[in-house]
Amino acid sequence: MVASKRPKRRDPGHESAMNRNNTVWGSLAVIGAALFLGIYFAYAAVQGDYGLFRRAEIEAQSDVLRAQLARLEAEVSRMENLTRRLSDFYLDLDLLDEQARDVLGLLRADEIVIR
């Protein structure tokens, strides 16, 4: 018997198994990429520069700054009131007397200082 040189036939089941194998790996790659992107964006939404934790920090800092602003506005208002009361247009004699005693150390002749 002489061996014939016919080309080998491919097994039709072999090709479909390879296609199924490639399809499975491709599907796994797509699912893995989608899962990775989902986890990445979820992490960024919570921990990122514009995430939930950063927003909470900014809101807390905003509350502190608002309280500081209110204190400073009250201080400015008090200083404006004192300045107006010592101005040339409006002179508060009690405030002037208090300032002269405090700053200059002035006393009346009938007063006694106890330290």
Could you list the pLDDT tens digit for every one of the 115 residues in the chain?
555 666 666 655 556 666 777 788 889 999 999 999 999 999 999 888 888 999 999 999 999 999 999 999 999 999 999 888 878 788 788 888 888 888 887 777 787 877 7
> Residue 37 corresponds to which tokens in the numbers above?
């992107």
Q: Would you state the pLDDT for residue 32?
A: 96
Residues 25, 18: Cα–Cα separation, whole Å: 11
Give residue 4's region: left, alpha or beta (phi > 0; psi -120 to 50). Answer: beta
- 48-84: string of b/e by CB count within 10 Å (b at 16+)? eeeeeeeeeeeeeeeeeeeeeeeeeeeeeeeeeeeee
Where exactly are the structural domains of the chain? 19-90
